[in-house]
Structure 1
Amino acid sequence: MSVRGDGTAGTRCRAQVTDAKLEREVLTSERLYQSAIFDLVREEVRLDDDVVIRRDFVDHPGAVAIVALREPSGAPEVLLIRQYRHPVRAALWEVPAGLLDVAGEAPLAAAQRELAEEADLTASRWDVLTDYFTSPGASNESLRIYLAREVAEVPEPERHTRVEEEAEMISCWVPLDEAVAAVHAGRIHNPSAVIGILAAASARSKKWAGLRSVEATWLQ
């Protein structure tokens, strides 16, 4: 559905605001660099007014993230993990997350696997919190954030052995309200954590009404 206004700044939209796929004619496509995780691509694209533009972007497989919640005393707590991220030279508090890099693996299955591998948890209840593009001007990476509830610990003999940066990870349960305060105070920087925490707080304020099914359409 298109969104129409009268052309002036601040015009009230006359239709529902909804992102939608829009295909442009791709004239050329060149893979400049390939890595184990992502590629760098250069494309020439024709716009509707016949203007041709050239854009370089990261071709990414996509990812999932998980906001795991528990309510031991009626007040929700969110699981956060701290992991070293070399590109930003920082140890960041994050929510469990991972790439969609296993051939044929459904996004929900990937989220369940990542929750078990990074947090030693399973969950009986899953919903979609939100979806987002991490940096749509420079990458096609699309990320879905799930809400995982009714959690349980993975038995110790069945736990995943973490290596490299993941071997240094620590995790802890944080009251959701405190996590929200940390986001607003600028103490949490990971985008999936920021978006997931705020989305979870918003959903809780509505008594979890409006959460989408794990089968919900995903703009990838």
Structure 2
Amino acid sequence: MRLAKLAAAFAATLIAVSPLAAAPLAKEKARQTTVAPKARAVEVILLRGGIGGIFSQGLDAIGAELKAQGVPARVAGYGSWRSIERQLIAARDQGRTSRIVLIGHSFGADAATAMAAELAQARIPVDLMVTLAATAPRPVAPNVRRALNFYFASGGWGLPLTAASGFRGKLDNRDYSRVAGVGHFNIEKQSAVQDEVVQAVLGVTRGGRKR
């Protein structure tokens, strides 16, 4: 009788430590310890036109609305684009990748197209680029996934965007020349334009969640 009990205990031990018995437990443990991947960070950069920080104030309103929506955004002068570009490249080189959104008005719009072209050389994608009344824009670089441009075919000062060779994204030129009272110096202050820009950014960062 004692030998039978010992044999039964030995058999139970073999079952408990066998790979077939351990597999379900390992799978269950793996499910419990799996951590959902973090969402990619977002870099929303708004570039002013003009000199002295008194131009393109509508970008401040866009930036403030994005922050209110929980989207980090920073407003800078157009002359800062090269240093910001270097920061983005350095972050990528350190393994910190972000969804990048570039927004610019006037000279800031020109700077946004230049920054996108330079980021293309570094193989860094731009999820969204919004340009308002660009004066001398570069062609939209192939790393840009969507470009939204507000321009004036007549009666204003702002050019349509063209696509660079290899561009496969979406390019949307919006002609505002027939909108009364809107011109180069106030297009970024229009509430309808601001709202569309904010929604476009949310479309990148949150899958288009409405306000």
TM-score normalised by the chain length of structure 1 = 0.24
Higher relative contact order (CA 8 A, sep 6+): 1
TM-score by length of 2: 0.25
Structure with the bigger percentage of helix: 2
User: Which of the two has higher C-alpha Rg?
Assistant: 2
